[in-house]
Structure 1
Amino acid sequence: MGKIDSQPILTGNKWEEVRRGGDKAIKKWIDDQMVGKSCLVVLVGTRTAERRWVQYEIKRAWEERLGVVGVRIHGLKNLRGLTSNRGDNPFAGFTLKSTALSKIVTLHDPFGFDSKSVYADINDRLEDLVEEAISIRDQF
C-alpha cells in the first residue's frame, strides 16, 4: 500500500528461518521488530484471533506503549483470487482494568463492494487509523 514505507516485508523463507529458532527466537524477532515503532497494525483475517504469535504481538505492543489498531482483510482477494470469512476480534481476549481491549482498540472493517474498493478504503484510511491508535494509547 505504501502507507507504512519503512516496514520490511517478511517472506515465507525468513519466517521459517526465525521459526526454526524456537519460541525464544520468535519472541526476540517480534520484540526487535517493534523497536522504534509507534504502532502495531494487526491485519485481521479468518484465523488471526487464534494465532499465538499475534496474541503475543498485541500484548507486547500494548506493554511497550505502542498504538494498536486492527484492520479486517477478509474482503481482500488472496493469491487464488478468493476472499475469506470474517474472523473474530483478536483484541477480545485481553482486558485492561476490567475493560476488554476490544472496547478500546479500533478494529476497522473496510467498506467496499469488491476487493479493489476494500483495498482502496484501507489505503485511504490507514494513516488516520494509525494516528488515532497512537492517540488512544496515550490515554491509557
Structure 2
Amino acid sequence: MAKKVFFSFHYQDVIDFRANVVRNHGSFKLSKQDAGYYDSSMWEKAKKESELALKRLINTGLKNTSNTCVLIGTDTYSRPWVRYEILKSFLKKNHIFGVHINSIKGKDQHTKTLGRNPFLDVGVTFSEDGKKVTLWEKINTEWVEFTKIENKSTFDNPYNINDDRKGEGFSLSHFYSTYDWKDDDGYNNFSNWVN
C-alpha cells in the first residue's frame, strides 16, 4: 500500500521545475501504488497566506501523512517554513528523508552544485530524563531555540530514546538520510526511500 508523503521545499525550486520532477514522477507510472506515495502538499496556496494561515495549511498538509520528503535545492536549508515543516514532522513522528534535486536540470536546462543539507541546521536536545525535547535552529553559526510551533520550543518527547541520548543534543542530520535524485536513481528508488 502506498504511503502519504508530505513534500517540503523552497518555492524557487518549483519555479525552476526541479521540485516538480520529484513531486510528479508518479504521474508517469502505472499507478500511485507504483510511485510509492500520494502527494499531500498544498504549495499552490502557501505563498499567498498569512503566517497563521501558513501554519494551518502546513499542519493540514501533514495530517494523515507518514513521511516527509525534503527536496533539497540551493537555499532550502535557510527557508524558515522548511524548518517549520521538518521540526513539525519530527514531533509528528513522520519518517523524514531528504532528496537533493540540484542534479535535475532546471527550466534553464542546467544543473547546480549540491545544496546544503537542511538537517544540519535544525536539531534537538533531550532532557536528562528523556521525557522532553527542545527544538533548535542554526542562525548563521549560533543555535537558537525554535519557537514557531505553538510559540514554544520544548515539548513532550514523542520518541523512546536510548540512555546515551538523554541530556544530549543532535542536529537532525544525525537521524535522517539524504539521497540524490540523479545519482541514487530517484525515479526508480523513491518508493524504497518512503517508509
Bin for the TM-score computed over the shorter chain:
0.7 to 0.9
Q: Which amino acid aligns with 1:75?
A: S
Could you tell me which residue of structure 2 aligns to residue 86 of structure 1?
Answer: 114
Is structure 2 residue 161 aligned with structure 1 residue 102?
Answer: no
SS of 1:91 mapped into structure 2: helix
Matches of 1:31 and 1:42 in 2, distance apart? 16
Could you tell me which residue of structure 2 aligns to residue 124 of structure 1?
Answer: 188
> Cα 1:125–1:62, aligned 2, differ >3 Å: closer, same or farther?
same
Give the TM-score normalised by the residue count of structure 1: 0.76
Could you tell me which residue of structure 1 aligns to residue 51 of structure 2?
Answer: 23
Q: Select 1:43's aligned residue among 71, 85, 88.
A: 71
Could you tell me which residue of structure 1 aligns to residue 10 of structure 2?
Answer: none
Matches of 2:116 and 2:87 in 1, distance apart? 17
Q: Check the 8 A contact 1:91/1:101 in 2, yes or no.
A: yes
Structure with more helix by fraction: 1
Matches of 2:59 and 2:41 in 1, distance apart? 16
Displacement of 1:82: 1.2
Displaced runs of 4+ in structure 1, greater than 6 A? none
> Cα 1:9–1:82, aligned 2, differ >3 Å: closer, same or farther?
farther
SS of 2:71 mapped into structure 1: strand
Q: How many residues align?
A: 120
Displacement of 1:42: 0.6
Q: Mark the structure with the bigger radius of gyration.
A: 2
Could you tell me which residue of structure 1 aligns to residue 144 of structure 2?
Answer: none
RMSD: 1.9
Structure with more strand by fraction: 2
Give the TM-score normalised by the residue count of structure 2: 0.56
Displacement of 1:93: 1.7
Q: Structure 1: give runs of 5+ residues left out of the alignment.
A: 113-117, 132-140
Displacement of 1:4: 4.8
- Residue deviations 1:10-38 (CA, integer Å, cap 9, x gap): 56xx33xx433311111110110011100
Could you tell me which residue of structure 2 aligns to residue 136 of structure 1?
Answer: none
How is 1:49-88 mapped onto 2 (pairs within 5 angstroms)?
A: 49-88=77-116
Matches of 2:37 and 2:172 in 1, distance apart? 27
SS of 1:83 mapped into structure 2: coil
- Residue deviations 1:84-119 (CA, integer Å, cap 9, x gap): 22111101122233122101100113454xxxxx6x
% identity of equivalent residues: 25
Q: Structure 2: give runs of 5+ residues left out of the alignment.
A: 1-24, 27-34, 126-168
Q: Which amino acid aligns with 1:7?
A: D
Q: Which amino acid aligns with 1:99?
A: F
